[in-house]
A and B are shown apart, each in its own frame.
Chain A
Amino acid sequence: MAQPLIGVSVPRKEGWDKVTGKARYVDDLHFDGMIHGATVRSSAPRGRIKAVRFDPRISWDEFTIVQASDIPGANHVALIIDDQPCLADSVVNHPEEPVLLLAHPDRYLLEEARRAITIEIEPLPAVFSIEESLRADTIVWGGDNVFKRFRVEKGNVDTVWDRADLIVEGEYFTGAQEQLYIEPNGMIAVASLEDGVTVWGSMQCPYYVHKALKGVFGLPDEKVRVIQAETGGGFGGKEDYPSMIAAHAALLAWKSGRPVKIIYDRAEDMVATTKRHPSRTRHRTAVSRDGKLLALEIDFVIDGGAYATLSSVVLSRGTIHAAGPYECANVRITSRAVATNTPPHGAFRGFGAPQSIFALERHLDKVAAAVGLAPEELRRRNFIRRGQTTATGQVIRENVDMAALLDRALRESDYHTKKERFARENPGRRVKRGLGLASFFHGAGFTGSGERYLASVVGVEATAKGRVRILTSSTEIGQGTNTILTQIAAETLGVPYEWVEIAQPDTSRVPNSGPTVASRTCMVVGKLVESAAFGLKQVLAGAGLLPSVYSADQFVQACGAYVGQHGRLCASSQYQAPPGVYWDDERYQGDAYGTFAWAAYVAEVSVNTLTCEVRVESFVAVQEVGRVIHPVLATGQIEGGVAQAIGYALYENVVWNEGRMANAQMTNYIIPTAADTPPIRVIFEERPYAYGPMGAKGIGELPMDGPAPAIVNAIEDATGISLDSLPATPESLLAALVEVHA
């Protein structure tokens, strides 16, 4: 058998192309006769389109122009419910909503032309905040501005309030966050009556784009082809909006008869595409004098923007994570996703969980203070253990040990020693230091029955020479899909890593393995790769060509013999839920996820009380994500997620002006740089998960959940200032300091 590959940091599969500039992203592709496309957008947040005026100084006959009436199929971007138009027809519901498309061979003339079009809009009343939307004075979506509601009940909180020793209340807010992948969105399309529509682009979910294009053109499956180009980051931001851009490029290609490329510049990408949902969470907690959580009442609201898009599922994940990895007999979580007249908010790493976990982990520090316990001690007394149930009644079957993760994080961060030292040194110092922690979990894979509905498929095929190819629509967006899926297939087949390749995601050649989201690629799709590879072995063994123990050379001989006799050698695998997993969609009860990743994070900060600058000085991230397939990639996932969450906590402030992002540029939307990111220590406790490939679970979103509350808890530890909104900017800290000293 070949050398073991699991737990080994093999070179990234497509890495050499990336480090030498050879990797081809969508803007690096060129087609003969290709022209450029642009989008003309609404300036108003909400209103009726009265007229579209074309400046007569432009030679419009040189341009391809597409409007809603040109759409051959249905005018919507198919997703969950089909309320979002591909091009606004008579009304607009948010600033920067696409109204008209233009194409021209010259990018510069195209930009001039775009500016020479005026869309006259008769304004309608609009709403811009969760509070306004809930007030429902102005209805901007459906009958009541509410896209989706959930209610989770465990025990009965109402029986607890009277007998509780203490009741602690709090209200928490989080702002929007821009994914800010460094490669902006882009698509190239070709289209014709005979061949249908083909697009190449930057995306996470080729089959989402496929579904949307079928609807917009009214074409059958085989007439739509979607191919993922190398993709320069996604983080959720390339989950749903690429369907819109693909449809736009394809409509222009359809009308012009030429290949059309649409590449968003940074400003357009930031102002028009999705962001993390802003949120408001209210907590009411009953606790006993010795720190046992008796009742958790949580109301969670997210701002979905103007159309439903993914808000119902973001809300679902945020709701289920809102009570965290704690055992409490009585829990009520109510939640709503509401409409406002901003561009729709969408997927962003964590998908609702960072919002509700920020609220919970901030709130627990307040509960601890009220009871008179240290933050770590309060959590220790309430951690969920094997055999206990989550808020949705899910029985924890794995041998989770949150207390051990927390203890490890405290030890690695030298928590107690530093805490004492800071308490001694801080008084009288301008720069104060503090430590904060957060303990949390993140469910891997789609929520509830989601994976059953997806019913994902993966194929594995081999040539006569024993070279193996994985067929999956899971995309490499930087997180390491190509590498880990290759490791899993090679390990299962007992062949060298180099013998396995992964097919370019192309809907005409790979099966639908579901979207590349929800920390599902390693655990769910990886498991399918493992079982498809195992199936391939079975095919060879069943044909009497492969002994149970074999060398790589014997595998090659077996493949050669099989292909010689039968032609194609391939096997596929379709998702099946692990045994004993049940979910009740009506009552929102049961096994919300097959499993969870578990974590305890500690942040150390310094706060300059003169300048209000907060720096994260060091960070310790301890987590249990099952078996680690690739230590360097897994570490990189955690470090990258922590850095993004540091941005979420401290810097990343979307400034809104009547529903439009006012700071849509990197100059004043600030993400962490090499100078800002602290040393991040990443520690994995490995407990193999029985139903993951080689024991692995999901990992990608987990590190987004914990850092923000840990950092804001540390700010309070350093200064005594309690900040309950994200981002915790110097301005908000200054306002709080002024209030304290007033």
Chain B
Amino acid sequence: MPKVPITLTLNGERRTLSVWPMARLLDVIRQDLGLTGTKEGCSEGECGACAILLNGQLTNSCLMPALEGDGARITTIEGVAADGRFGHVCQAFLECGGAQCGICTPGMIMATVSLLAENGHPSEAEIRTALAGNLCRCTGYMRIFEAVASAGRGTLAGERGR
């Protein structure tokens, strides 16, 4: 089967490219489009390291055929980092200790952005549910919950130390 052309809007920018029809959207983003902030942890939709927003929906890009990206709006961690509306989410992960090794962090932040878009002041139970599809092996999640709550409040720790 030959490559097929698709057009998508990646982090606000229209891109047209040819892809193998069954290529994974994850590979297209990382290799063809060169955005390596989206990570691969398990290749089977368990860990959430590859999470992106596909038309605003939190999506594991390792399970998504590239053709599904045709005509879609895709937001990756690079888009979130560059978007002034979300800088405080990245900042909250940094200040609260929500990132340790950092490999789950882009996916965690995508899940956080997805949650906060729906619910600006989530309870801890709501945070837990929203992040349950993103595995972290370093933090035990506590600092991540704090980062999400802090980002929700839009408040930053500000002063160093505790």
Residues on A lying within 8 angstroms of B by beta carbon are: 7-12, 14-25, 27-28, 179-184, 230-235, 265-267, 477-480, 631-633, 635-636, 639-644, 665-667, 671-675, 677, 679-680
Contact = CB atoms under 8 A, between A and B. Distances in A.
A679 B129 CA distance: 15
B147 to A, nearest CB: 9
Contact of B140 (A8, A181, A677): A677
Given A182-B101, A640-B100, 11 more contacts: A12-B99, A24-B36, A28-B30, A179-B137, A184-B41, A266-B42, A636-B139, A640-B139, A642-B140, A665-B42, A677-B141
B162 A632 contact: yes
B24 to A, nearest CB: 11
User: Among the interface residues A10, A20, A234, which one has the most CB atoms of the partner chain B within 10 A?
Assistant: A20
A480 B100 contact: yes
Contact of B47 (A10, A16, A480, A666): A666
Contacts of B5: none
Given A232-B101, A674-B131, A640 B46 contact: no
Contacts of A673: 132, 135
Nearest to B91: A19
Contacts of B35: 21
Contacts, number: 179
A18 B95 CA distance: 12
Contacts of A478: 100-102, 138
Instruction: List the 4 closest pairs (A to B, CB-CB), nearest first.
Output: A21-B37, A478-B101, A232-B103, A18-B102
Nearest to B49: A182
A20 B101 CA distance: 13
Contacts of B44: 266, 665-667
A642 B95 CA distance: 21
B77 interface: yes
Max chain B CB contacts within 10 Å: which of A7, A18, A183? Answer: A18
B138 A266 contact: no
B78 A12 contact: no
B62 to A, nearest CB: 10
B10 interface: no
B127 interface: yes
B104 A182 contact: yes
Nearest to B92: A19
Contacts of A180: 137
B43 interface: yes
A27 B129 CA distance: 30
Interface in B130-162: 131-132, 134-145, 160-162
B94 interface: yes
17 contacts: A11-B160, A18-B99, A19-B99, A27-B36, A28-B30, A182-B39, A232-B39, A234-B101, A266-B42, A267-B43, A478-B138, A636-B139, A644-B140, A666-B46, A673-B132, A674-B131, A674-B136
Contacts of B103: 25, 181-183, 232-233
Interface in B51-96: 76-78, 81, 90-91, 93-96
A643 B94 contact: no
A19 B43 contact: no
B42, B49, B127 pick with most chain A CB within 10 angstroms: B42
B160 A9 contact: yes
Contact of A181 (B76, B78, B93, B101): B101
A675 B150 CA distance: 19
Contact of B46 (A15, A16, A667): A667
A11 B39 CA distance: 23
Given A9-B97, A9-B161, A673-B132, A679 B142 contact: yes
B109 interface: yes
Interface in B92-125: 93-106, 109
A17 B46 CA distance: 24
B32 to A, nearest CB: 12
Given A19-B94, A232-B103, A674-B127, A635 B143 contact: yes
A639 B139 CA distance: 6
A674 B100 contact: no
B3 interface: no
Given A233-B137, A266-B43, A478-B101, A10 B49 contact: no
B148 to A, nearest CB: 10
A230 B46 CA distance: 23
Contact of B160 (A10, A230, A680): A10
- Most A CB contacts (10 A, CB to CB) among B39, B94, B97, B128 go to B97
Contacts of B47: 182, 666
A267 B93 CA distance: 30
A675 B128 contact: yes
Nearest to B148: A674
Contacts of B100: 233, 478-480, 636, 640
Nearest to B94: A15
Contacts of A8: 160-161
B94 A16 contact: yes
B97 A640 contact: no
Nearest to B111: A674
For B38, B105, B143, which residue has the most chain A Cβ atoms within 10 angstroms? B105
A680 B99 contact: no
Contacts of A667: 44, 46
A666 B135 contact: yes
B136 A182 contact: yes
B11 to A, nearest CB: 11
A27 B36 CA distance: 8
Contacts of A266: 41-44
Contacts of B143: 632, 635-636, 639
> Interface centre among A10, A267, A635, by most B CB within 10 Å?
A635
A318 B5 CA distance: 58
B162 to A, nearest CB: 6
A17 to B, nearest CB: 8
Contact of B97 (A24, A233, A633): A633
B39 A19 contact: no
A460 B134 CA distance: 39
Contact of A27 (B40, B77, B99): B40
A699 to B, nearest CB: 13
Contacts of A231: 101
Contacts of A24: 36
Given A233-B138, A635-B97, A28 B160 contact: no
B81 to A, nearest CB: 4
Contacts of A234: 101
A499 to B, nearest CB: 16
Contacts of A636: 97, 100, 138-140, 142-143
Contacts of B101: 18, 181-183, 231-234, 477-478
A22 B39 CA distance: 11
A640 B77 contact: no
Nearest to B35: A21
A16 B101 CA distance: 12
A183 B140 contact: no
Contacts of A631: 161-162
Contacts of B39: 25, 182-183, 232
B25 to A, nearest CB: 16
A12 B35 CA distance: 23
Contact of B161 (A7, A181, A679, A680): A7
Contacts of A20: 37, 77-78, 81, 90
Contacts of A18: 94, 99, 101-102, 105
Contact of B41 (A7, A183, A635, A677): A183
